[in-house]
Structure 1
Amino acid sequence: MASWNSIPLEISYEIAGWIAFASWSISFYLQVILNFRRKCVVGLSFDFVVLNLTKHSSYMIYNVCLYFSPFIQKQYFDTYGDKEMIPVAANDVAFSIHAVVMTALLLFQIFIYERGAQKVSRIAAGIVVVVWTFAAICFFIALPTQSWLWLISILNSIQVFMTCVKYIPQAKLNFTRKSTDGWSIENTLLDFTGGVTNYLQMVIQSIDQNSWVNFYGNIGKTLLSLISIFFDITFMCQHYVLYPEKKASKALETDKESNEPLIDSSYEHI
């Protein structure tokens, strides 16, 4: 297994990784807190949450297996060479486990809070069923030859696919409602920060090793960052550029109501 050639780059790698972990992890709490304060999940796409749970679950399995299993690590080195480093860091494992827990909490909030007429679409439910059925089939294919690296690579590809599709329902919901009310923009900003620093982490490792193998050796992590950044920019455009008026008008109405006198002025002279 390869080691770091530069201590400053190694430190930078760790710092970038934990910044990504902190940004992504905190972003979950902001949506949970927003739902709790509103006692309502209207404006949050249920399809997004359901697809996101599948995405993070498959990503967690990939990270945990590759980080902790010596057998799978050996298969990785046999495939990509002994001089390469494992493309999964401790922060990747910590984040993915935390993400599964927090996404499950969001799903719980959907069940207990006001949700209006929103519901999980048949398309989203169908995608989840098909994905996990496919994963189960791959497991039984890998079992006889113990091709576990291949199996977790499939799971990694699944999480990339889920990352591609999970944001679409939320972007569509914002477009349909012409509003981002109910969707935490702070969540988006932190997610954007996590995506950038996560990608930076891989760049730092590649510079140190003078090799770009980790980009295609862990294509899931690479695409995860790029896709997240793309959709985060989309959400920021929706919030700050396309639909700011509705949010502003709601705030104005709230301020107007709060500034109304408790006693109508018509009663002052009675």
Structure 2
Amino acid sequence: MATDLTLMAQALSRVLGWTYFLCWSLSFYPQPILNWRRRSTRGFGIDFPTLNVLGFAAYTLSTGAMLFSPTIRAQYAYRYPSAPESTVRVNDFVFALHAAIVCIIIYTQFWVWGFEVGKDQKISRTSLGIFWGNLLGVAVIVFLVLTRGKDGGNDPSGWAWIDTIYALGYVKLVVTIVKYIPQAWINYKRKSTVGWSIDTILLDISGGILSNLQLFIDSALGGDWTGITGNPVKFGLGNVSILFDVIFLIQHYALYRNATKVIEIQARDERDGEHRPLLEDGRSSGSSNDSQV
């Protein structure tokens, strides 16, 4: 009976894993599609895709190492002897790789697609500081592994290469914590979510809930909750995403639900003004003067 329940739990874990993978992967498409349909990135902060590129590049490297590097897998088993198998799954790596590629494409919509980009759509100094600060932090860990690690970083009892992998994972966690803040602030200042796809949020919150469920099941199957402490990034990603998704849902459906049409009209008027020929007023005023004469 216990074996049957274990098999069912393992199957459920795989289903949850690939379902959250689909939800989170699909969540990347509504925003670029919305930008493409509007031929504009207005209402969509550039901080978000900039930090996303860094975060998912780091997450791809960390999950890939946890899955495919014998050295990292052995060091993980040494650090967590009661649960020597990491809770990182293939769907985590595939999701991270796919997300990194799509985020790069989204980032290019601000530069090479010819879309309308607002003059104020520039990455903030805070986001730039976070971007380079994270890279510096990883470089410091690599330096410590090389200079203070035993056996060239291959001995997990001291500074080891797995610490670099953890650092990359924490880069993704830090990025996830901060990347939503500029967009939430933009929505607050504009008193609207126009330009920010709510479909992205609905898929994202679904993926976060399913990701946490899979992590709990995997930890229960391992008989040790260090499956969560040994994979804090995955646990943190799901919960931070859910928190901000709730904020965006409140903004969209409660706080600013009546502001959508007003912002759309204002944006249309701004575009019409920007694209109106400069000589149009001169011609119309000239014709008016002629008629008066």
- TM-score between the two structures when normalised by the length of structure 2: 0.82
Cα drift, residue 181 of structure 1: 0.5
Give, in whole Å, the separation in 1 of the partners of 2:18 and 2:127: 32
1:213 aligns with 2:233: no
Partner of 2:149: none
Give runs of aligned pairs for residues 88-99 of structure 1, distance below 5 A. Answer: 88-99=88-99
Give, in whole Å, the separation in 2 of the partners of 1:226 and 1:29: 22
1:154 to 150, 156, 167: 167
135-144 vs 84-93, greater mean Cα deviation: 135-144
Give runs of aligned pairs for residues 40-189 of structure 1, distance below 5 A. Answer: 40-81=40-81, 83-112=83-112, 113-117=115-119, 118-143=121-146, 144-146=152-154, 147-189=160-202
Contact 2:83–2:227 (CA<8 Å) still a contact in 1? no
Give, in whole Å, the separation in 2 of the partners of 1:174 and 1:83: 43
Letter aligned with residue 148 of structure 1 = W
Q: Secondary structure at the match of 2:117?
A: coil
How many residues are treated as equivalent by the alignment?
A: 252
- CA offsets per residue over residues 107-153 of structure 1, 9 Å max, x none? 00111321112111122112111211221222232233241111111
Structure 1 vs Structure 2 CA RMSD? 2.0
Give, in whole Å, the separation in 1 of the partners of 2:264 and 2:45: 22
1:233 aligns with 2:235: no
52-61 vs 168-177, greater mean Cα deviation: 52-61
Letter aligned with residue 153 of structure 2 = T
Letter aligned with residue 194 of structure 1 = G
Partner of 2:280: none
Q: For structure 2, which runs of at least 5 residues remain unmatched after alignment?
A: 147-151, 155-159, 267-293
Runs (4+) of structure 1 exceeding 3 A deviation are 248-253
- CA offsets per residue over residues 166-209 of structure 1, 9 Å max, x none? 11001001001111011110000000000000000011112222
Letter aligned with residue 108 of structure 2 = F
Max radius of gyration: which structure?
2
% identity of equivalent residues: 36
Cα drift, residue 34 of structure 1: 0.7
Contact 1:75–1:149 (CA<8 Å) still a contact in 2? yes
- CA offsets per residue over residues 193-243 of structure 1, 9 Å max, x none? 000000000111122222211111000110110000000000000000000
Letter aligned with residue 249 of structure 2 = M
Give, in whole Å, the separation in 1 of the partners of 2:217 and 2:20: 14
Q: For structure 1, which runs of at least 5 residues remain unmatched after alignment?
A: 254-270
Give, in whole Å, the separation in 1 of the partners of 2:254 and 2:82: 49
Cα drift, residue 244 of structure 1: 0.4
- CA offsets per residue over residues 43-79 of structure 1, 9 Å max, x none? 1111111111111111111100011011110000011
